[in-house]
Amino acid sequence: MNRLLVMLFLMLPFSVQASLELSFSEVAPGVFMHQGKLADLFTVDSDPVANITFIVGDEAVAVIDTGGSKRAGNAVLRAIRQQTDLPIGFVINTHVHPDHHFGNIAFVDEKPEFVAHARYPGDFDAKSGYYLQRLTNPWFTGTTPIGATRVINETTELDLGNRTLVLTPHERAHTRHDLSVLDQNSGTLITGDLLFIDHLPTLDGNLMGWLAETEKLEAMPFRQVIPGHGPLQKSKQAFEKQTRYLSSLAQAVRAAINDNIDINTASTTVMPSPGDWKLYEAFHPRNVIQAYKELEWE
């Protein structure tokens, strides 16, 4: 029997056998960031694919997004414990997409508040089961979605002990329940998927709303930005490339609608060139369809 168990273990992918270790960079005093892979969670060889942040105050820690699996969440928790033994007061979910919050399960025993946008619970209930069914690779074993225990519908401050985080619930943009976090001490803005760098932006909410919310983000007093995907940004022009893509998408889809091009044809013919965006083929046709359904009723 022992020999059989060893053989079965050796047949597992290495990523499942080995304990996952994640590297975090201290991008400002007390602000730690892990940059996820530029990949699709449903086809990647190992999670996480989204950026993950934790912030250490004098009295507590806040985690902003936890990865897409229990395994990733456990790795985040281990990384935090390498830095501090302070209690984890808050797990902040920027939105409901599984690559950002399916690691929550690893933090349940820490007894934090799981914080999200007021519209998050409805989408969590509607979508989490579907997402979970699609995560069939073995590194998602044990992953169970954990929802919010506290929701906010207005700008809210969280105190970590001599460190204040300002949470802003946004109108419909990337999704209909996006939440951003500004660390006042360091001027670090954590946007979730309200900002993509290198990875093509993905539209699951409202295109024109996203452009409007971007203007609000740009007006915030940040000194650096941690996007939902891609590297840390130090420039006030961090949103410019994404804005060009979203604005061009709106213009091109409106033209297709005015030319009576049907939605399916538009999805394969509107803005076919990826430029230097990653995962263009995977997500751009979906963006066209989502934008078309929104803009055809203008």
Confidence of residue 239 (pLDDT cuts 50, 70, 90): very high
Average pLDDT, integer, range 164-193? 98
Task: Please tell me the predicted confidence (pLDDT) of residue 5.
Answer: 34
d(CA 197, CA 44): 18
Task: Please tell me the predicted confidence (pLDDT) of residue 165.
Answer: 98
Average pLDDT, integer, range 71-87? 97
User: Is the per-residue pLDDT at 275 higher than 50?
Assistant: yes
Q: Tens of pLDDT along 6-55? A: 333 334 443 443 578 999 999 999 999 999 999 999 888 777 999 999 99
Confidence of residue 137 (pLDDT cuts 50, 70, 90): confident
Q: Tell me the domains of the chain and their CATH numbers.
A: 25-235 (3.60.15.10)
User: Is the per-residue pLDDT at 69 higher than 90?
Assistant: yes
User: Is the per-residue pLDDT at 261 higher than 80?
Assistant: yes
Average pLDDT, integer, range 101-118? 98
Task: Please tell me the predicted confidence (pLDDT) of residue 18.
Answer: 53
Higher pLDDT, 270 or 16: 270
Confidence of residue 235 (pLDDT cuts 50, 70, 90): very high
What is the rounded average pLDDT for all residues in the chain? Answer: 93
User: Is the per-residue pLDDT at 3 higher than 80?
Assistant: no
Task: Please tell me the predicted confidence (pLDDT) of residue 44.
Answer: 81
Rounded to two decimals, the pTM is 0.93
Higher pLDDT, 185 or 132: 185
